[in-house]
Amino acid sequence: MLDVYRKLTFGKRLSILLALAGVVAVVLVVIGLSIPLRSATLKARVIALLTEELESEVTIDTLEGHVFPRVAVSGRGVAIRHKGRTDVPPIIAIDSFEIRGSLRDLMKEPRHVSEVRLQGLRVTIPPGDDNDDDDGKTDDESRAGAERLPHVIIDRFEAPDTIITIVPKKAGKQPKVFTVHHLVMDSLGITETMPFIATLTNPIPKGEIETSGTFGPWNVAHPASTPVTGTYVFANANLDTIEGLAGVLSSAGAFTGPLNRIEVQGTTDTPKFQVDAGGLPVPLKTSFTAVVDGSDGDTYLTRVDGTFLNTSLTAHGSVVGFEGVHGRQIDVDVTIKKGRIEDLLRLAVNSEKPILLGAAELQAKLVIPPEKKKVIDKLRLRGQFTLSKATFTDPTVQTKLVGLSRRGQGMVEGEQAGDVLSNLKAHFTFENATASFSSLTFSVPGSAVELVGQYGLREERLDFRGHLKMQAPLSEVAGGGVKGFFLKAIDPFFRKPGAGTVIPIKITGTRKAPKFGLDMFR
């Protein structure tokens, strides 16, 4: 669940790539049709028209072409800087390009070009473009600008091994770099809805994404409003690239919407999901809906439904970045209504046999800040949980609880207490791999324990103080007889209204070797 958001932003990045590369390819074809291919002014006219149509500073190292036996235009060293910006790399850089077609297809309407192939395409998406896109132009004016170009369709567009770099809006954040190994588009045109197929590498978690869909028509005035729709498959993503997690994740889903608000629906499957707290792997499956803000890549999780073993959970929240900070912060509300404590313990404790069995409920606020630490050390939780009808798997512990329940009810030795089931409620915070409990109550028939304290997950160390409350007075807890007779004298010192006996206690030591005793200073 914690990593669903990491695969949601590729649609926006890929779509921007398709739009920008497509516009350049179409404009190059249009100019090739209108200018003699061997004219000395070809390069200057191409640069001038690209500069006007893309509102950018354009440079081209070489450009040449011929008409017979087939139309062909080629060039090298293309660089396009959006609005002349020099504070970021060129928005588009192309090592070389080839445009091929037949003269007959170019002469009829609509005009067709057989093939456009770009080598060494590098797309850098600079920050702030969404705020500068309109320049006061209306949608009608933008459409009119696009319609000035002749209607040209590229039958097949290829750009293998493309590099996409996303420069974040917020200062100090590291850019995201994506490699698109395979990119093919059919029927590419500025005013067209364009189908595409692509394969790219997602950096974190590292894995291959295969996606297909449609893009466009390109919105000249408001690129962020350009529509995109499609499906994706994210296979064999290695969660080891996220510090503190382990497992291999696969995901599939669909996306649709304008670039600045892409709605994503999908599922994930991680057969051996593991947290680094020393826990064991569990099979984790999720289904999710989310909205991706294409302007900065922030993701808003509308709903996540997850299951692992016999536990189900729901969550909603956000994954956003902050100015001057590397990475993004996960901020999620998590609810478990029908869970099992043994499943939760498996995630946290490296033991095939859980110490507790029982129903569990949880309501918590989860925050994972963008810090370079293992998940267990930077994870922050605040909430409450309830365990009901729980039993300990250790026979010795369960026997002691039965004895505690019998004494708490004032039963004599040998009297059967029946099946003893435990209930536990707690309000807690979790930070720096330590769980702090402001209120923790544990009860069995006849007795209850109220505690405050801490549990360190790394060292598995206990430090709790509180009270043991029993229905029976201390003299009856002792089992009667001579001992009980003398204890009657001090019964009043251990009584409080509504309780037979209240004894101050402490629990220290470790999970494997806990120490229970009277808190004499209280």
Length of the chain measured in residues: 522
Q: Is the pLDDT of residue 315 over 90?
A: yes
Residue 170 or 50, more confident: 50
Domain ranges in the chain? 4-334, 394-518
* Mean of all residue pLDDT scores within the chain: 76
Find where tokens 């019998």 sit. Answer: 406
CB 378 within 8 A of CB 367: no
* Percent of residues, the chain, with pLDDT higher than 90: 16
Are the C-beta atoms of 88 and 128 separated by less than 8 Å? no
Q: In this model, does residue 429 exceed pLDDT 60?
A: yes
Does residue 475 register a pLDDT over 60?
no
Q: Among 160-174, 279-293, 485-499, where is mean pLDDT lowest?
A: 485-499
**Is residue 471 predicted with pLDDT exceeding 80?**
no
Q: Residue 150: is its pLDDT beyond 90?
A: no
Per-residue pLDDT at 486 = 44
Question: How far is the C-alpha of 226 from the C-alpha of 259, rounded, in Å?
Answer: 6
CB atoms within 10 A of CB 109: 8
Predicted confidence at residue 296, as pLDDT, reads 63
Hey, what are 179's tokens? 């490699």
CA distance 83 to 378: 41
Give the model's pLDDT for residue 520.
61
d(CA 509, CA 428): 20
The stretch 56-69 carries a mean pLDDT of 80
Q: What is the pLDDT of residue 157?
A: 84
Quick one: which of 58, 62, 182 has its CA closest to 117? 182
In angstroms, the CA 449 to CA 447 distance is 7
The per-residue pLDDT for 304 is: 93
**pLDDT, average across residues 215-239:** 79
Residue 410 has pLDDT above 90, yes or no: no
**Displacement of CA 125 from its chain's centroid (Å):** 22
**Residue 336 above 90 pLDDT?**
yes
27, 49 contact by CB (below 8 A):
yes
pLDDT score of 507: 85
Angle at 255 between CA 91 and CA 318, to 5 degrees: 85
* Contact yes or no for 360/339 (Cβ under 8 A): yes
* pLDDT at 11 > cutoff 60: no
Question: 393 is written with which tokens?
Answer: 């798997």
Q: What is the pLDDT of residue 64?
A: 81
- Tokens 């708490």 correspond to what residue? 408
pTM of the model: 0.68
Nearest by Cα to 471 from 493, 446, 436, 498: 446
Q: CA-CA distance, 339 to 386, in Å (whole number)?
A: 10
pLDDT at 447: 79
Q: Given pLDDT bands bounded at 50, 70 and 90, which one contains residue 235?
A: confident
Q: Please, what is the Cα angle at 329 between 328 and 330, to 5 degrees?
A: 120
Output 87 or 342, whichever has higher pLDDT.
342
Mean pLDDT over residues 6-25, rounded?
46
Give the gyration radius of the chain's Cα atoms.
33
- Could you tell me which residues are beta bridge partners of residue 188? 154
Q: How far apart are CA 22 and CA 346, in angstroms?
A: 51
How large is the average pLDDT for residues 221-249?
A: 79
Most confidently predicted of 33-37, 211-215, 225-229: 211-215
Between 27 and 204, the higher pLDDT residue? 204
pLDDT at 414 (0 to 100): 60
Highest mean pLDDT out of 277-286, 318-327, 378-387? 378-387
Identify the pLDDT of residue 38.
Answer: 53
pLDDT digits (tens, 9 = 90+) for 239-279: 876 766 788 889 999 999 886 788 999 999 999 988 765 67
